[in-house]
Protein backbone atom coordinates (compact mmCIF):
# COMPACT_ATOMS: atom_id res chain seq x y z
CA UNK A 1 0.00 0.00 0.00
CA UNK A 2 1.35 3.42 -0.89
CA UNK A 3 1.27 5.95 1.91
CA UNK A 4 1.30 9.66 1.18
CA UNK A 5 4.07 11.85 2.46
CA UNK A 6 2.71 15.16 3.66
CA UNK A 7 5.21 17.81 4.59
CA UNK A 8 3.79 21.09 5.75
CA UNK A 9 5.38 24.34 4.71
CA UNK A 10 4.55 27.82 5.84
CA UNK A 11 3.54 29.21 9.18
CA UNK A 12 0.55 28.24 11.32
CA UNK A 13 -1.67 30.73 9.53
CA UNK A 14 -1.29 28.98 6.18
CA UNK A 15 -0.35 25.40 5.55
CA UNK A 16 0.59 23.90 2.25
CA UNK A 17 0.88 20.13 1.94
CA UNK A 18 3.22 18.56 -0.55
CA UNK A 19 2.62 14.91 -1.24
CA UNK A 20 4.64 12.08 -2.72
CA UNK A 21 3.89 8.37 -2.51
CA UNK A 22 6.10 5.43 -1.65
CA UNK A 23 5.67 1.94 -0.23
CA UNK A 24 7.24 2.92 3.08
CA UNK A 25 6.64 5.80 5.45
CA UNK A 26 9.19 8.25 4.10
CA UNK A 27 7.58 11.10 6.03
CA UNK A 28 8.34 9.37 9.34
CA UNK A 29 11.91 8.73 8.24
CA UNK A 30 12.39 12.40 7.34
CA UNK A 31 11.00 13.54 10.67
CA UNK A 32 13.23 11.06 12.54
CA UNK A 33 16.31 12.20 10.62
CA UNK A 34 15.49 15.83 11.52
CA UNK A 35 15.07 14.87 15.18
CA UNK A 36 18.47 13.15 15.10
CA UNK A 37 20.11 15.99 13.13
CA UNK A 38 21.23 13.36 10.63
CA UNK A 39 21.87 15.72 7.73
CA UNK A 40 23.59 13.13 5.54
CA UNK A 41 20.50 10.94 5.71
CA UNK A 42 18.26 13.96 5.07
CA UNK A 43 20.04 14.56 1.76
CA UNK A 44 19.15 11.03 0.67
CA UNK A 45 15.60 11.15 2.01
CA UNK A 46 14.75 14.52 0.47
CA UNK A 47 16.27 13.40 -2.83
CA UNK A 48 14.15 10.27 -2.71
CA UNK A 49 11.06 12.33 -1.91
CA UNK A 50 11.88 14.54 -4.92
CA UNK A 51 12.13 11.46 -7.11
CA UNK A 52 8.68 10.35 -5.93
CA UNK A 53 7.01 13.78 -6.06
CA UNK A 54 3.78 13.99 -7.99
CA UNK A 55 4.49 17.38 -9.57
CA UNK A 56 7.38 19.69 -10.43
CA UNK A 57 6.75 22.13 -7.58
CA UNK A 58 6.87 19.33 -5.03
CA UNK A 59 9.98 17.86 -6.65
CA UNK A 60 11.76 21.21 -6.50
CA UNK A 61 10.66 21.75 -2.90
CA UNK A 62 12.30 18.48 -1.83
CA UNK A 63 15.35 19.09 -4.05
CA UNK A 64 15.87 22.48 -2.43
CA UNK A 65 16.00 20.94 1.04
CA UNK A 66 18.40 18.23 -0.16
CA UNK A 67 20.54 20.84 -1.87
CA UNK A 68 20.72 23.12 1.18
CA UNK A 69 21.88 20.26 3.41
CA UNK A 70 24.36 19.13 0.74
CA UNK A 71 25.80 22.65 0.51
CA UNK A 72 26.12 22.92 4.29
CA UNK A 73 27.99 19.61 4.46
CA UNK A 74 30.05 20.00 1.31
CA UNK A 75 28.42 16.76 0.15
CA UNK A 76 29.37 15.64 -3.39
CA UNK A 77 25.67 15.36 -4.37
CA UNK A 78 25.38 19.13 -4.18
CA UNK A 79 26.35 19.42 -7.84
CA UNK A 80 23.79 16.88 -9.07
CA UNK A 81 21.08 18.49 -6.95
CA UNK A 82 22.03 21.94 -8.24
CA UNK A 83 21.87 20.67 -11.83
CA UNK A 84 18.38 19.28 -11.28
CA UNK A 85 17.16 22.56 -9.79
CA UNK A 86 18.83 24.54 -12.56
CA UNK A 87 17.11 22.37 -15.20
CA UNK A 88 13.78 23.58 -13.77
CA UNK A 89 14.98 27.19 -13.59
CA UNK A 90 14.96 27.03 -9.79
CA UNK A 91 18.63 27.46 -8.94
Instruction: Write out pLDDT tens, residues 28-85.
Output: 899 999 999 999 999 999 999 999 998 999 999 999 999 999 999 999 999 999 999 9
Count of structural domains, the chain: 1
Q: What is the pLDDT of residue 25?
A: 84
The pTM of the full predicted model, rounded to 2 decimals, is 0.75
Range of the domain at 23: 3-87
Contact partners, residue 22, CB within 8 Å, separation at least 6: 2, 3, 5, 48, 52
Amino acid sequence: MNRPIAITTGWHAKYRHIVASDGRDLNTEILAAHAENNYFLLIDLYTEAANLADNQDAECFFLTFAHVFALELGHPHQFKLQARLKAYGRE
